[in-house]
Amino acid sequence: MAGAVLECLGKKKGLLVEAGTGVGKSFAYLIPAVLSGEKTLVSTSSLALQDQLVNKDLVFLKKTLPQKFSFGMLKGRNNYICQKREGEYEGSGKSYERFQKWLSKTKTGAKDDLTFVPKFWSEVCGDARDCTGKLCPYFSECFYYRHYRKLHKVDILVVNHYLLAYDLLSDFNVFPFHGNLIIDEASDMEDVISTVLGSSLSHSRVVWLLYRLGGLKIIVDHLFAEAESFFKKADIPSRPVFPIPYPVIEQLRKLRKKLALAKTVTTLEKQKKKALDDEQKDRIKTTKNYVKSLAEDIDDFIGQGDADRVYYMTGNVKERELTSSLVESKGAFGHLIEGYGSVVMTSATLTTEGGFAFLKKRLGIDDFAEKIVGSPFDYRKQALFYVDRNLPAPGKGNEETFNEESLDVIEGLITASRGRALVLFTSYRQLHYVAEYINIPYPFKSQGDMPHAKLIRWFKDTSNSVLLATATFWQGVDIKGDDLSLVIISRLPFSSPGDPVYQERCNRLGSRWFYELALPSAILSLRQGFGRLIRGREEYGVVAILDSRVAKSSYGKAIIASLPEVAITHSVKEVKKFFDSVSKG
């Protein structure tokens, strides 16, 4: 892999490289990046992975390699205190005093240096929409920009996919250089672009603006209740609804009228003319930008007219939120990579049926070299794939029978693994059914019983625990070794129920939706599943599918052909034997 990456960087080309779990992927791209002697951006999918690359892998390479090189990490502005917003925030209380003490001493202003994160952090941290950069009165002492200026000199800069997409949004003004680009966890890129190039309307966004207007002596007190009645005292959906229903759009129209945003812009313009100092002028200017962007977004949601987007409403227990996401990311992705000399895209799982066709189609890639490096793990010994072939095929008309009969199999599998299991559903109805009737001697909880992060902590901290969740719950969840040994997937295609972006992508593909999107996505998720379950030579686990079509249909063969070489069984007894043998070994 390292040779292929080095060649790609030297020849200024594109490369797709799949490197199975355990290959040592990060070294196989970081070492060539160092040897290339050129400035390289490395993008990965999360802050945790950024930290690992910078604080572990690059630190190690710096000590080990004879080449001298420098490196750094860029996180979003929201990871730093913003002196301007902090000055505007009127805080009080113990937590605020503790924060002020920290602020008077900090040399970095970075969230990472705080031993506690105050509730009001989002009010005082940097926010791209509220930042005028060089024009800001605090620019010269700004923590974020001080850190940013140092990064111009580094050889390897580690960023994340969200920043990469924001760089595109801001006409390539986020990063200090655009030499070589290495995208790790490349399969996440499509959805990140889809989110970043979308927009959202939430209670906190409107309320934050109202506070800001209040601070500029504009009378807005009466508007807090209006915002609350739209976002909080409304019918709050328990799952995504799309398109946004007409009555909600009508309520939004009324809210827009009450907010009188055009009039507010005029008032702010008058205020700016009279402003006495730069600080006041800056505050008025950024507030005006906020008002304008809110007005534009509200109009966009009222019209739901951008054919490139899907508009939907989501809800948590307390409030509803309106969101729009880009349906197809390929155009934006093409634009994003145009400015780079060479581009390497890698991940442990990028291929389906032995090729990169799916990823290439989704992201519009056509002239990249390709390489697959298999995992060194022995999946035949370390893993088992259970495929049920006796349950009725799940589908319309026999949902109840499937739910009832699959419950026995779920219980049998969980007993074989002695808990330590994640059961993933593609329908809420089945999830609720299983949660109500499951009978196992192990502690279990369902998605929704507590907040996401708490639920994962409960699962990790509780011996032999079982978690019932929807299909995408597993993505991005890091559960190591012995805590998780069994993953049960109720049915294919393996996508979350009611995901509007996925559904709209399927709609646009018409009759091709299954073979061009649903099936390859399911294959990728399954392959990622094996990768997440087995991450060392000492780890073992079972992936189980309850959908008998995998055993009986032609596409089942494509799924099995795409998986690592793994033993397949159709018997729960064999699953028990597997767990008994590995626990003895």
Pick between residue 87 and residue 451 the one whose CB is nearest to ligand SF4. Answer: 87
- Length of the chain equals 585
> What is the closest distance, in whole angstroms, from the C-beta atom of residue 141 to ligand SF4 in the complex?
8
Under 8 Å between Cβ of 507 and 307:
no
Pick between residue 80 and residue 340 the one whose CB is nearest to ligand SF4. Answer: 80
Strand order in the sheet with 421-425: 444-446, 466-470, 421-425, 486-489, 541-545, 383-387, 567-569
Strand order in the sheet with 343-347: 71-73, 156-160, 40-44, 180-183, 343-347, 14-19, 369-373
Site string for ligand SF4, 206-235 (x = CB under 6 A): ------------------------------
Q: Is 189 in the site for ligand SF4 (CB under 6 A)?
A: no
Of the candidates 102, 121, 139, 442, which one interacts with ligand SF4 according to CB under 6 A?
A: 139
Of the candidates 15, 16, 136, 159, which one interacts with ligand SF4 according to CB under 6 A?
A: 136
> What is the closest distance, in whole angstroms, from the C-beta atom of residue 123 to ligand SF4 in the complex?
12
> What is the closest distance, in whole angstroms, from the C-beta atom of residue 57 to ligand SF4 in the complex?
29
Residue where the block lists tokens 């507590």? 450
Q: Which stretch binds ligand SF4 (CB under 6 A): 139-147, 271-279, 392-400, 539-547?
A: 139-147
Under 8 Å between Cβ of 240 and 498:
yes
Q: Cα dihedral sign for 329, 550, 394, 487?
A: negative
Closest by Cα among 490, 462, 487 to 477: 487
> What is the closest distance, in whole angstroms, from the C-beta atom of residue 142 to ligand SF4 in the complex?
3
Pick between residue 85 and residue 445 the one whose CB is nearest to ligand SF4. Answer: 85
Q: What share of the chain is helix, strand, coil (3-state, %, to 5)?
A: 55, 15, 30
Pick between residue 79 and residue 187 the one whose CB is nearest to ligand SF4. Answer: 79
Residues of span 44-83 touching ligand SF4 by CB under 6 A: 77, 82-83
> What is the closest distance, in whole angstroms, from the C-beta atom of residue 133 to ligand SF4 in the complex?
6
Q: Which stretch binds ligand SF4 (CB under 6 A): 34-42, 65-73, 135-143, 183-191?
A: 135-143
Dihedral angle, C-alpha 50, 52, 58, 64, nearest 10 °: -170
Phi, psi of 454 (to 5 degrees): -65, -40
Q: Which stretch binds ligand SF4 (CB under 6 A): 14-22, 141-149, 385-393, 530-538?
A: 141-149
> What is the closest distance, in whole angstroms, from the C-beta atom of residue 270 to ligand SF4 in the complex?
23
Q: Which stretch binds ligand SF4 (CB under 6 A): 18-26, 68-76, 132-140, 544-552?
A: 132-140
How far apart, in whole angstroms, are the C-alpha atoms of residue 162 and residue 336? Answer: 12
Neighbours of 34 (CB within 10 A): 20
Pick between residue 3 and residue 87 the one whose CB is nearest to ligand SF4. Answer: 87
Looking only at the bridges linking them, the beta strands covering 199-201 and 320-326 are antiparallel
Phi, psi of 480 (to 5 degrees): -95, 155
Pick between residue 147 and residue 420 the one whose CB is nearest to ligand SF4. Answer: 147
Pick between residue 142 and residue 501 the one whose CB is nearest to ligand SF4. Answer: 142
Pick between residue 88 and residue 411 the one whose CB is nearest to ligand SF4. Answer: 88
Closest by Cα among 392, 354, 352 to 491: 392
# residues near ligand SF4 by CB under 6 A: 13
> What is the closest distance, in whole angstroms, from the C-beta atom of residue 264 to ligand SF4 in the complex?
21
> What is the closest distance, in whole angstroms, from the C-beta atom of residue 85 to ligand SF4 in the complex?
6
Pick between residue 82 and residue 343 the one whose CB is nearest to ligand SF4. Answer: 82
Assign 293 to helix, strand or coil: helix
> What is the closest distance, in whole angstroms, from the C-beta atom of residue 286 to ligand SF4 in the complex?
8
Q: Look up residue 294 and give its two tokens.
A: 């809110």
* DSSP codes joined into one string, 224-260: HHHHHHHHTSS---SS-BSSPPHHHHHHHHHHHHHHT
Strands (E) located in 355-433: 369-373, 383-387, 421-425
Residues of span 102-131 touching ligand SF4 by CB under 6 A: 126, 131
Under 8 Å between Cβ of 26 and 346:
no
> What is the closest distance, in whole angstroms, from the C-beta atom of residue 152 to ligand SF4 in the complex?
16
> What is the closest distance, in whole angstroms, from the C-beta atom of residue 176 to ligand SF4 in the complex?
15
> What is the closest distance, in whole angstroms, from the C-beta atom of residue 131 to ligand SF4 in the complex?
3
Instruction: Give the burial string for 500-520 (b: 16+ CB within 10 Å, else e).
Output: bbbbbbbeeeeeebeebbbbb
How far apart, in whole angstroms, are the C-alpha atoms of residue 109 and residue 192? Answer: 27
Under 8 Å between Cβ of 529 and 487:
yes
Closest by Cα among 454, 467, 468, 461 to 482: 461
Site string for ligand SF4, 76-95 (x = CB under 6 A): -x----xxx-----------
Pick between residue 86 and residue 155 the one whose CB is nearest to ligand SF4. Answer: 86
Pick between residue 14 and residue 72 the one whose CB is nearest to ligand SF4. Answer: 72
Pick between residue 136 and residue 423 the one whose CB is nearest to ligand SF4. Answer: 136
Q: Is 413 in the site for ligand SF4 (CB under 6 A)?
A: no
Of the candidates 28, 58, 142, 486, which one interacts with ligand SF4 according to CB under 6 A?
A: 142
Pick between residue 112 and residue 338 the one whose CB is nearest to ligand SF4. Answer: 112
Under 8 Å between Cβ of 467 and 455:
yes
Of the candidates 29, 71, 144, 301, which one interacts with ligand SF4 according to CB under 6 A?
A: 144
Dihedral angle, C-alpha 369, 370, 376, 381, nearest 10 °: 180
> What is the closest distance, in whole angstroms, from the C-beta atom of residue 275 to ligand SF4 in the complex?
17
Q: Is 288 in the site for ligand SF4 (CB under 6 A)?
A: no
Pick between residue 77 and residue 288 the one whose CB is nearest to ligand SF4. Answer: 77
Instruction: Give the burial string for 60-91 (b: 16+ CB within 10 Å, else e).
Output: ebeeeeeeebebbbbbbbebbbbbbbbebeee
What's the first-to-final CA gap in the chain, in angstroms?
33
Which residues in this chain contact ligand SF4 in the complex, by CB under 6 A?
77, 82-84, 126, 131, 133, 136, 138-139, 142, 144-145
